[in-house]
Structures are given as C-alpha cells and as structure tokens.
C-alpha cells in the first residue's frame, strides 16, 4: 500500500472531523456528503477522491477511535496486554474524547461501533482468554460481547458522573469482574 502524502492525510482528517461536527447536531441518517464537504471546506470531488460515502467516513472515524483503545482484556487476570501509554480503556475514551460522544449516544451508531470493534478485537480476545482461562471459544466470545457491551452501556449511562464518582464506580465494577460473581454472603468487597 502506497504511503499517503501529508495533504491527503490532512484532507481525510478534516473530512472525519467534519462528520463528527455534523453528528453533534443531527442523526447520522440525516448527514449528507454536501454537509460534510461544507464543514470540511472541501469540494465534493475532493471528498470522493478520499471516501465513497459518509458510511466510509464513519468507518474511518471508528477505526481511528479503535486505534486509541487498549485491549478489552484489562479486567481478566492473566490476559492483559502490555500497557501502551497512548491507548486507553473504552470507558475512559468515552469520557475523555467528547468529540466521539455522538457515536456513543446514538443507539444505531453504537451498534455499528460495537460491530466494528468486534471485527477488530474479538478474535485476539477469544484466543487469549481461551489460553489463559481454559474455556471454550464460544464461552470466551460470550465474555467478549459482555465486556464490550457492558463497558459501553455503563460508561454511556454514567457519562455525566463526576470523575471521582466514576472512578469509584469503575473500581467497583473492575473488582467484581476480577473476583467473579461467585462470592459467598460473608465476603465483603471494599472499594477504596
């Protein structure tokens, strides 16, 4: 694959940012190529040199977002990837990168987003969980979807929580995930 020149990369970035700006104001189904072009200050011909449709721009935005995510395995003991300072967990990305919020707040885009993440992260997750936990691939796949949808739902539902409150909620969830749900009634979970 040929390396793109700086101008092309800039134009594609401008188009993606224009799509995000449009999504902050209206549903994706109502965003047009003309709207994106006006916001990006590019001609339609330029748009079509880089993208076939707004759907393709959305895929690019989601792929860019996914490249900022750490592995989905952080809460599973023995499964975590090596830390990468430039990446963050999904729940943190949802809170920190406010420009992506329209994607998370729109149920149809959320579903599309999880599908794109599934195609990118599911297989490595399943492979590593099977190896570290000794479970069947179908069970590991259930865990993947539970982790992805659960993280997304909790983060979106609590998007307006203060950082300190969110930190406590996240630690409680992480603790339960790490320990499992099979806790007898005499066991106390302490979050500090």
Q: What is the pLDDT of residues 28-81, one digit of tens each?
A: 999 999 999 999 999 999 999 999 999 999 999 999 988 888 654 454 444 444
pLDDT at 77: 44
Spatial distance between the Cα atoms of 140 and 123, rounded to a whole number of angstroms: 10
Q: What is the DSSP letter of 28?
A: G
Cα separation values, 66 from 23, 43, 61, 164, 183, Å: 18, 28, 9, 25, 34
pLDDT at 81: 46
Q: Is the pLDDT score of 110 beyond 50?
A: yes
Q: What is the DSSP letter of 163?
A: H
pLDDT at 6: 92
Q: Is the pLDDT score of 1 beyond 60?
A: no
**Residue 190: phi, psi to the nearest 5?**
-110, 125
| Domain boundaries defined on the chain | 6-53, 67-179
pTM for the whole structure: 0.78
Q: Which residues contact 81 (CB under 8 A, 6 or more apart)?
A: 70, 71, 73
3-state secondary structure of 88: strand
Spatial distance between the Cα atoms of 90 and 168, rounded to a whole number of angstroms: 17
- Give me the mean pLDDT over the 173-187 stretch: 67
Q: Which residues pair with 88 in a beta bridge?
A: 69
> 120-125: long-range contacts (C-beta < 8 A, 24 or more apart)?
120/63, 120/66, 121/66, 121/69, 121/71, 121/72, 121/148, 124/71, 125/71, 125/72, 125/73
Positive/negative CA dihedral, 40, 6, 44, 32: negative
* CATH topology assigned to domain 6-53: Arc Repressor Mutant, subunit A (1.10.10)
Q: Is the pLDDT score of 169 beyond 60?
A: yes
- Give me the mean pLDDT over the 115-142 stretch: 90
């Amino acid at each position: 694959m040929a390396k793109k020149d700086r101008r092309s990369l800039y134009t594609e970035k401008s188009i993606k940012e224009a799509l995000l700006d449009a999504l902050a104001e209206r549903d994706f189904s109502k965003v047009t190529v003309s709207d994106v072009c006006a916001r990006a200050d590019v001609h339609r011909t330029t748009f079509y040199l880089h993208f076939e449709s707004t759907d393709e721009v959305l895929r690019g935005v989601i792929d860019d977002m996914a490249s900022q995510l750490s592995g989905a395995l952080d809460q599973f003991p023995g499964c975590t990837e090596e830390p990468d300072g430039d990446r963050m967990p999904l729940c943190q990305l949802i809170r920190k990168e406010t420009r992506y919020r329209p994607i998370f707040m729109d149920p149809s885009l959320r579903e599309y987003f999880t599908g794109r993440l599934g195609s990118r992260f599911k297989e490595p997750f399943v492979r590593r969980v099977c190896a570290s936990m000794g479970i069947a691939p179908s069970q590991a796949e259930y865990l993947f979807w539970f982790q992805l949808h659960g993280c997304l739902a909790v983060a979106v539902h609590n998007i307006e929580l203060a950082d300190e409150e969110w930190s406590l909620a996240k630690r409680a969830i992480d603790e339960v995930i790490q320990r499992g749900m099979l806790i007898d009634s005499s066991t106390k979970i302490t979050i500090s």
